[in-house]
């Protein structure tokens, strides 16, 4: 599972349960690159069934109307100005996941709100931001809207929701909103009458990597339920979102007899897992193949960075720890 400051969360696309810590994540892209906006004001969560039309919650300027916040199921924000580069509240280390770590109080002046420990917005990487809808805390989670009103979390039922991000892209621009969707499920619990027989198969989609590039290595995972007596509806639940706790290991295969035959360059848990169980590791050839990632790399043992590499993933599926066969790619 992904982590925010050592706390496990469930991505919005991985069939999150209503009692899960749900990572409501979004990416900002400009001119083909991940980019930080100038300022993030808030993230409002509304029930989708009650707000099928954006005009039901937005004003004429295209931002969340102040009169609509009372119907929000939850509001996330920063404890400072919301300006990237100066507001330290975006630091993911602020997230505690523990109720009572921060007291949230209304602030009519609209300046600083104490909400960074639970109901903040956190920067995970350049252009990548998230907030955590904590179904474990449920109604104990609360945020503060733009009117200074404390909003108790009511997004605790299994249904569809919308999340509205109010953002200023550049300093001179006006605030605008980005609307996304997610769903909470109550069928993440199930009962079966025999142990599950699962079979997994992995495939590395990348075959070549160019030296000097920064490339997402994508490892697909196919999960098959081999029990004949289990209903197809249950089997379908295991087609998505069953892979957790993935680690990627990459080793250089040296043909030079004066060098070690295999040299580990990467051993990293810094991976993403998509809703279809694809594991993604970003290989930066200018760093990982020079000083290592998760390991200390001796460049003299590595030899030239060009050549054949073996990749292996380790991950968890239910109670099983899966170690994939070696998969190969070439750095040219």
**Residue extents of the structural domains in the chain:** 3-183, 198-331
Phi, psi of 34 (to 5 degrees): -65, 130
CATH code: domain 198-331 is 2.60.40
Integer-rounded Cα Rg, in Å, for the chain is 22
Q: What pLDDT tens digit does each residue of the chain (332 aa) get?
A: 678 888 888 889 888 888 889 999 999 999 888 999 999 999 999 999 877 776 788 888 888 888 888 889 999 987 778 898 888 889 888 887 765 544 444 444 444 344 456 888 999 999 999 999 998 888 888 888 777 778 888 998 999 999 999 999 999 999 999 999 999 988 566 778 888 888 999 999 999 999 999 999 999 999 888 888 888 877 777 766 788 889 999 999 999 999 999 999 999 999 988 888 999 999 999 999 999 999 999 988 999 999 999 999 999 998 899 999 999 999 99
Residue 55 tokens read as 């005009």
Q: Which of 149, 136, 140, 121 is nearest to 22 (CA)?
A: 136
Contact 236, 242 (CB under 8 A): no
What pTM does this model have? 0.74
End-to-end CA, the chain: 32
Q: In Å, how far from its chain's centre is CA 51?
A: 25
């Amino acid at each position: 599972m992904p982590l925010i400051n050592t706390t496990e969360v469930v991505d919005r696309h991985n069939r999150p349960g209503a009692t899960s810590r749900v990572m409501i994540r979004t990416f900002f892209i400009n001119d083909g690159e991940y980019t930080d906006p100038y300022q993030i004001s808030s993230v409002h969560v509304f029930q989708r069934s009650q707000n099928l039309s954006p005009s039901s919650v937005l004003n004429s300027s295209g931002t969340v109307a102040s009169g609509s916040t009372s119907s929000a199921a939850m509001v996330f924000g920063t404890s400072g100005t919301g300006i990237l580069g100066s507001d330290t509240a975006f630091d993911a280390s602020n997230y505690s996941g523990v109720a009572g770590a921060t007291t949230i109080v209304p602030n009519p002046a609209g300046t600083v709100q104490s909400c960074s420990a639970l109901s903040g917005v956190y920067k995970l990487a350049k252009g990548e931001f998230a907030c955590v809808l904590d179904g474990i805390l449920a109604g104990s989670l609360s945020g503060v809207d733009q009117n200074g009103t404390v909003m108790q979390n009511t997004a605790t039922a299994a249904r569809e929701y919308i999340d509205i991000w109010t953002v200023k892209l550049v300093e001179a621009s006006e605030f605008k909103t980005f609307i996304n969707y997610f769903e909470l499920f109550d069928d993440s619990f199930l009962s079966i009458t025999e142990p599950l027989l699962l079979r997994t198969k992995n495939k590395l989609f990348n075959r070549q990597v160019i030296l000097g590039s920064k490339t997402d290595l994508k490892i697909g995972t196919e999960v098959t339920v081999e029990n004949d007596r289990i209903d197809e509806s249950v089997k379908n639940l295991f087609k998505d979102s069953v892979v957790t706790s993935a680690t990627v290991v990459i080793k250089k295969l040296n043909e030079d007899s004066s060098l070690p035959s295999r040299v580990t360059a990467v051993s990293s848990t810094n991976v993403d897992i998509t809703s279809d169980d694809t594991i993604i590791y970003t290989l930066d050839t200018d760093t990982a193949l020079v000083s290592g990632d998760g390991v200390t790399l001796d460049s003299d043992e590595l030899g030239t960075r060009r050549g054949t590499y073996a990749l292996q993933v380790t991950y968890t599926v239910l109670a099983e720890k899966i170690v994939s066969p070696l998969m190969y790619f070439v750095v040219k």
